[in-house]
Copies of this chain bind each other. A is one copy, B any other.
Amino acid sequence: MSSANPLSRVSLSQQIRDQLLDRIIRGELPPGNRLVEMKIAAEFSTSQAPVREALRELETMGVIETLPNKGARVRTITNEELRQLYEVRAQLESYATQLATAAGAPLKSRLKEAIKAMKRAARESDSTAFASHNSAFHRIIVEASGNKILLDMWETLNVQTRTMTNVARSRRNLMELADSHQTLIDAIASGDPDMANRVAKDHVLSNRPKSADTSIKQSAS
């Protein structure tokens, strides 16, 4: 590792944060799981301090929760919170999709590639890979909006969504879900911002987990 390369200057705390985050997203550390500082430190052969720093970041991201003197757990998101999360996500993604109608031609082919990857994962009944490609599909759209703040916020919601939706799905279910993304591509390609906005909102809200679907909403969506 050359010290002239900025990429090599990744602090231990960042590495620990990223690895814990990855495990949480992949379901290896499910909600409720205890995160014990000294054990994590031993695993990473480091002292406690960088671990504490990593946990502070993860907590600020909303991925874990801690109580004073009682340590950290992977955060469990209630059904109500998940419902709220999907509603906000629908607002952000519909706006992003609306803006993405103005993006250039490469967007469409990139989205098609992402659907292919989703279908590949579906054929292999690989829910984790599917979730990853599904996220990538949506991320491409949000990136195409050109709004970095939007992307940052979307990423935050995405992480929180994925910790709670590590559920194995049938191959058929995954294939249908992959197919449902084609309507988003068509909407963006139509160049009609308002229509794209509505299609994206419908897509997000209709694809939320059942557990986030149980509350009765009072206002029109």
Interface residues of A (CB under 8 A from B): 6, 9-11, 13, 49, 52-53, 56-57, 59-62, 68-69, 81, 84-85, 87-88, 91-92, 95, 98-99, 101-102, 147-150, 152-153, 156-157, 193, 218-220
Most chain B beta-carbon neighbours within 10 Å: one of A52, A59, A157 = A52
Q: Which B residues are CB-close (under 8 A) to A101?
A: 219
Q: How far is the CA of A99 from the CA of B85 in the complex (A)?
A: 15
Q: How far is the CA of A207 from the CA of B88 in the complex (A)?
A: 23
Main secondary structure of the interface of A (DSSP, over half): helix
A–B Cβ pairs within 8 angstroms, 27 of them: A6-B68, A9-B68, A9-B69, A13-B56, A49-B49, A49-B52, A52-B53, A53-B53, A56-B57, A56-B60, A57-B57, A57-B59, A62-B152, A81-B148, A84-B149, A85-B149, A87-B150, A88-B92, A88-B95, A91-B91, A91-B92, A98-B219, A101-B219, A102-B218, A149-B157, A153-B153, A193-B220
Cβ contact of A95, chosen from B10, B61, B91, cutoff 8 A: B91
Give the distance to chain B from A125, nearest Cβ to Cβ, in Å.
31
Q: Which B residues are CB-close (under 8 A) to A156?
A: 153
Q: Are A10 and B68 in contact (CB under 8 A)?
A: yes
Q: Are A147 and B88 in contact (CB under 8 A)?
A: yes
Q: How far is the CA of A60 from the CA of B13 in the complex (A)?
A: 13
Give the distance to chain B from A150, nearest Cβ to Cβ, in Å.
5
